[in-house]
A and B are shown apart, each in its own frame.
Chain A
Amino acid sequence: MREPIKYVLLTASLGLLLWSLYKIGYVLPLEANVAAYQILYLHVPSFFAAFTGFFLGLFASGIYLATGNFKYDSFAAGANEVALMFATAGLASGMIWARYAWGIWWTWDARLSSMLLCWLVYVGYLFLRKSVEEPTQRARLSAVLSIFGCVNVAFVYKSIEWYRTQHPSPVLSFRNGGDHMGPGLEAPIWWNWLALVCLGVVIAMVRMQQGEMSREIDALRRQAHSY
């Protein structure tokens, strides 16, 4: 944690999260037409941050394949890991809400199962990273899987429109074209998204440095053995 950019991002993220927590708790109306809708301000941004992470992972993997620079492999690993964490948070918050609003923890609805699938794809990604020991091979194979995974996420995201679903329909203005929620209610979602993305980038950067360091240690160890 030496570069100031990380501190800036971390402070911005925590500040934004606190500010939106205050807004959600004290400023926004308590009642709306959806029960306990406030959890939406964590639920939706978590998934947005997760998708952002998967896309960053895709780009980093592409850059790795093009340049062969291990820095991008580490960043892709970090981004996908953090994104998986946000996806878990999104799923968990959704389950808690479902228990409150529907009375059940889980239902095999298209949106829920498709998100669970994305989650499983990236769990597979982490498994793959764990099971390959040779760094070049690991980087190459996981970059390919990351690209496949991201295309699958896009495919699945599109596919939820083909099923009938019991999940509340999209409420954000860019999806339904109108102000279903009103700008005052919608704004904290976007701010929280920004906050979570900043937080994710900080964690991914730390992971990246960790990866670089472990590669360095590996190289030194190999050097020591060769004497």
Chain B
Amino acid sequence: MYLRQVLTIAAKDLRAEWRTREAFNASFAFMVVILVLFSFAFDPGNSDISIPAIAGGMLWIAYSFAAALTLNRSFARELQNDCLDALLAAPILASALFFGKALANFALLMVMEIVSLGVFSLLYNVKVLAQIWSLLLVIVLGTWAMTVMGTMFSALTVNLRLRELMLPVMMYPFLVVPLSAAITLTSDLLNGISFGAENILWLKVLVFFDVLFTSLVVLLIDVVLVG
């Protein structure tokens, strides 16, 4: 029952996105622009700079920027025609609404990230396929951390005047721990270092962050949305 409600909300969001593809196109273009800009910050032709060593940072900075852009709209687009009020009046728990939206955002971000991982691999000549399953695991965990915090802050800032500005200002300080963990792991994997005693801690940090903050959001989302 609960699961069906979650899936209905997620399907609704994905359908709306599929019909316009607004968020996806804009965020994907933005991500590519950032990846291109990085080539001016760190000259990839310079042999002193090892691209795989900083690849994790480049990827996740681009991911998190695009995520802020996408997640900002998650609740804000329900303001038109008072859709948010209708959603809140629907006979479902606020957490079902949250998880539905989070699931849709997660799917959207995952598609975007995997496509841009390919673009990144082409542009910077980084081999991503060697440990693709471990890399995907890191991307899934890191993306869930971004999604859960971003969707939460999207709900929290939906009625604010400076919504577009407030979301990143409040969200990034929370995301630094999971992002730094994901960056370390991604750089390791792209350098051919697999999970081991050296970096397994960061995987645990990611899992722990995801579990802790997802439970916290479930506890508090009712207060945020309904009051």
A-B complex is real: yes
Interface set of A (CB-CB < 8 Å, partner B): 65, 113, 117-118, 120-121, 124, 127-128, 131-132, 136-137, 140-141, 143-145, 147-148, 151-152, 155-156, 159, 162
Complex contact B160–A147 (CB within 8 A): no
Q: A124-B170, A128-B170, A152-B173 are in contact. Are A162 and B161 (CB under 8 A)?
A: no
Q: Which of B159, B161, B172, B177 contacts A159 (CB 8 A)?
A: B177
A117 to B220, CA, bound (A): 22
Complex contact A162–B205 (CB within 8 A): yes
Contacts of A65 in B (CB 8 A): 223
Q: Nearest 6 A-B pairs (CB), nearest first?
A: A124-B170, A120-B173, A121-B173, A117-B173, A131-B160, A144-B220
Contacts of B227 in A (CB 8 A): 136-137, 140
Cβ of A28 to closest chain B Cβ, rounded Å: 37
CB of B37 closer than 8 Å to a CB of A: no
Closest residue of chain B to A139 (Cβ to Cβ) is: B227
CB of B34 closer than 8 Å to a CB of A: no
Cβ of A185 to closest chain B Cβ, rounded Å: 33
Complex contact B205–A131 (CB within 8 A): no
A141 to B176, CA, bound (A): 22
Cβ of A50 to closest chain B Cβ, rounded Å: 15
- A-B contact sample (11 more), CB < 8 A, given A124-B169, A128-B170, A156-B177: A65-B223, A121-B170, A121-B173, A127-B166, A131-B166, A132-B160, A144-B224, A145-B156, A145-B170, A151-B212, A159-B177
Mostly, the A contact residues are: helix
Contacts of B224 in A (CB 8 A): 140-141, 144
Cβ of A160 to closest chain B Cβ, rounded Å: 11
Complex contact B170–A131 (CB within 8 A): no
Q: A121-B174, A131-B162, A151-B216 are in contact. Are A141 and B156 (CB under 8 A)?
A: yes
Tally of A-B Cβ pairs under 8 angstroms: 63
Complex contact B176–A117 (CB within 8 A): yes
Cβ of B165 to closest chain A Cβ, rounded Å: 9
A120 to B168, CA, bound (A): 12
Complex contact B173–A155 (CB within 8 A): no
Contacts of A148 in B (CB 8 A): 152, 174, 213, 216, 220
Q: List which B168-227 residues lie within 8 A (CB) of chain A.
A: 169-170, 172-174, 176-177, 201, 205, 209, 212-213, 216, 220, 223-224, 227
- B134-163 interface code vs A (CB 8 A; 1 in, 0 out): 000000000000000000100010011110
- 24 interchain pairs, CB-CB under 8 A: A117-B173, A117-B176, A121-B170, A121-B174, A124-B169, A131-B160, A131-B161, A132-B159, A140-B223, A140-B227, A141-B156, A141-B224, A144-B156, A145-B156, A145-B170, A147-B216, A148-B152, A148-B174, A148-B213, A148-B220, A151-B212, A155-B177, A155-B212, A162-B201
